[in-house]
Structure 1
Amino acid sequence: MSIKVGDKAPGFTLPKQDGTSVSLNDLLQKSAVVLYFYPKDDTPGCTQEACSFRDSYEAFKDAGAEVVGISSQSADSHKAFAAKHRLPFTLVSDEGGKVRKQYGVPSTLGLIPGRVTYVIDRGGTVRHVFNSQLNAARHVTEALGVIQKLRGASPS
């Protein structure tokens, strides 16, 4: 069962690239969250996607959202990936794929972990889901457009 627009986002607490833990509830206390699941650190599509989020990170922050990348690699792998590409946002380690399963992120060809982005409002409700394994950069434009609309719809 996959999470759809209008569903409550499943909570989680996972290790970040710096070794500390972060929970979805803690993040939602401060801002909306763009949670993007990606297959693997330092692969071409994942690097393109992460760098696209990096390049638009200030626009997400200005619109009231935090970006969080999530995959099954270790916190150490995420730390190296984030440092190499100067990623300003949090990467979390979902070793074993438990959170990926909670969200129902599909695999491609049953082998490659899927690439799905969720926009979650401060109330914890999923407002947008975008699933595309091959169009990595579009995850950023889709999510940013939704975040900006949410920002415009809520009083400042």
Structure 2
Amino acid sequence: MASGPQLGQLVQDFTLPGGILTDDAFERSDFTLSKARGRAVVLAFYPGDNTPVCTKQLCSYSSGFETFEGLDAEVWGISPQGVDSHEAFARAHGLRMPLLADEGREIAKAYGVSAPGIGVRRAIFLVGPDGDLRWKHVALFGATFQSLDTLAGRLSGIKVA
């Protein structure tokens, strides 16, 4: 497994297909990390749509949408499932963040979170508005996740002056 980006370094740019649920529409598009410059981005890698821990994690982040917005940050969920699966997942749980499809796990590999057997380790990468990695957490087992409060605390320290 690659080590992935290091703290203080520019993270690898990528473009992935995905979508975001807005009202009743699931708007599909490509998401490019470098196009989000100027805002902090929480990259939330998760093993799978509609699994118990992943559902709890993404629902907690979605319910904290206003907290992230107040910190000038956005959350992108990334997993190996396709965009159709992400749409069903977002609709079933009212998820309000973009869900990106890393079907070949190329981005998971580049970020050092691809894992044999489970596919992708649960991981968080906080990317600053300048594109540098400010904080990361890669779960060993993935049965728990970083809370909204933990992420908000980390994000409050990287706001643009």
Q: TM-score normalised to the size of structure 1?
A: 0.89
- Structure 2 distance, partners of 1:20, 1:117, is 22
Contact 1:117 1:139 in 2 (8 A): no
- Structure 1 distance, partners of 2:153, 2:77, is 18
1:115 to 96, 114, 122: 122
- Structure 2 distance, partners of 1:126, 1:142, is 16
Q: CA deviation at 1:131?
A: 1.8
Counterpart of 1:96?
A: 104
2:144 to 105, 110, 135: 135
Aligned residue pairs total: 149
2:13 to 6, 11, 14: 11
Q: Which amino acid aligns with 2:69?
A: K
Q: Give runs of aligned pairs for residues 42-53 of structure 1, distance below 5 A.
A: 42-53=50-61
Q: Which amino acid aligns with 2:29?
A: T
Counterpart of 1:73?
A: 81
Q: Deviations over 1:41-82 (max 9, x none)?
A: 000010011011011111011001010000010001001101
More strand by share: 2
Q: Structure 1 runs of 4+ off > 3 angstroms?
A: none
Contact 2:105 2:114 in 1 (8 A): no
- Structure 1 distance, partners of 2:102, 2:111, is 12
- Structure 1 distance, partners of 2:92, 2:65, is 17
Q: Which amino acid aligns with 1:36?
A: A
Greater shift in the superposed pair: 59-68 or 6-15: 6-15
Q: Deviations over 1:68-107 (max 9, x none)?
A: 0000100010011011111111010001100000101152
Q: CA deviation at 1:130?
A: 1.2
More helix by share: 1
Counterpart of 2:24?
A: none
Contact 2:13 2:32 in 1 (8 A): yes
Q: Tell me, what secondary structure is at the counterpart of 2:95?
A: coil
